[in-house]
Structure formats: structure tokens, C-alpha cells
Amino acid sequence: MSKKKVIITQSNYIPWKGYFDSFQLADEVILYDDMQYTKRDWRNRNQIKTPQGTQWLSIPVEVKGKYFQAIKDTKVSENKWKQKHWRSIQVNYAKSPFIKEYHDILEDLYLNCEEEYLSLINYRFLKGINQILGIETPIRFSSDFTLVEGKTERLVDLCKQIGGTDYYTGPAAKDYMDESLFEQEGIKVHYLDYSGYKEYPQLFSPFVHGVTILDLILNVGSAVTNYMKNF
């Protein structure tokens, strides 16, 4: 039986390099957009480097009270964010070695973004960055599947629906996931290791690993995969 490596993850906005390393590792990715949207998290924001330190780029979204709101149902509250974010990138990476090379690609991703829902905005940027990195892993949405009850049960069933034999997840999942349910279905669980990344030439010291992957792309260009693990 051939192996099929699956990752089920919430979508993030222009995430860091470790996120894309996991995409390259997988045979298929499911964006878990049925999960609850959480404030002050990576769903709608990420960090860039500036002369004054790291800076958040946050997509403004509508949050309706304190009741459950799925990521897939979360809408943008105003449309000027894309011009603001693109301007921030242009200003703070004006002296990066590869800003000219990726200018048109990134400008298109931002200024021609017409999506209103956060899931679709994140998907647009994930696909665009995947193209830059040469990642061809298929991406699907959890909302395209029939979902069963139970936190771990749902993950196991999603793996089964796409024929997954190996499930990869972040180390934090150890605190809430019941591995035995995967074992009962013959699915092996693997925990991703985000340590050991080497530093790259980065504007504005001190060096920071956890910023958006756009920082890595604009600083090293086509050598980006030399600073990742699964390429």
C-alpha cells in the first residue's frame, strides 16, 4: 500500500516558512476552515521586519459578538487593508535584494484581491506563494467534506476520506489529540519539528525566524529553499 501524507491545518495569512515546509512535505493539505475564528491569532495577521522591529500586518475582519464564528464565515470589514499592506511591504523592503524581482507578483496578489472572506483571501496568498516556491501539493477545504462529531474523530475521518495513511501535525496537538483513534484506523501520526532553521541574510537586526515567508523570499530570492527543510 502506498503512503499518503496528509496535513489538516487552519489557514494563516502570509505565514512563516515552517508552514510552507509542511505543505511541501504533504501529499495533500486540507484547510480546516470549519474551525472557530480566533482573535489575535495567525488567521488574519502576520509580521514583517522594519527598521523599528517587527510590525503586524492585520486584515480587519467582522467579529459578531462572542458566539461561535467559523473561519470560513469570517468576512473582511473594510477593503483598504490590501493597499495598506502592500504599501508597508514596499516601504520596508525597498532595500531588499529581490523586491524588484517579485514586485509584480506581490502587487497582483494584493491589489487584485477581490475576495471578501478571510478563508478565500488566505487561500489566494497561499496559492500565490506556493507558486513562487514551486509547491504543487493540492489544497482543499474542510467545508468540502462531510464532517463527523468529535475533535480527533473529525481529523481521523478527514484522513480516511482522502485515503491518508500518515497524518502530520504541529507539536501542540499532543495536548488535545487522541492518537489511539488514528492507530485504530491504521493511520500513523507524525509531529512536525520546527527547530533547527538556519539564519538567512535579513534586513534590520536582530534576526527573527517567525516572520512571514515574504521576508525570506524578498531577501534571498530563488535561494529560498536552501533555508527550508523539506525541499
Asked whether residue 25 is assigned to any structural domain, the reply reads yes
Model confidence, pTM: 0.96
The Cα–Cα gap between 6 and 35 comes to 18
Asked whether residue 134 is assigned to any structural domain, the reply reads yes
Range(s) of the domain holding residue 33 = 5-225
Tens of pLDDT, residue by residue, the chain (231 residues): 689 999 999 999 999 999 999 999 999 999 999 999 998 899 999 999 999 999 999 999 999 876 689 999 999 999 999 999 999 999 999 999 999 999 999 999 999 999 999 999 999 999 999 999 999 999 999 999 999 999 999 999 999 999 999 999 999 898 889 999 999 999 999 999 999 999 999 999 999 999 999 999 999 999 999 999 999
> What is the CB-side half-sphere exposure of residue 212 using CA atoms within 13 A?
28
pLDDT per position as a tens digit, 207-216: 999 999 999 9
pLDDT per position as a tens digit, 16-71: 999 999 999 999 999 999 999 998 899 999 999 999 999 999 999 999 876 689 99
Number of domains in the chain: 1
Helices (H), the chain: 17-25, 81-92, 99-111, 118-133, 151-161, 179-184, 213-220
Asked whether residue 231 is assigned to any structural domain, the reply reads no
CA pseudo-torsion sign 177, 178, 179, 181? negative
90: left (phi over 0), alpha (psi -120 to 50) or beta: alpha
Asked whether residue 32 is assigned to any structural domain, the reply reads yes
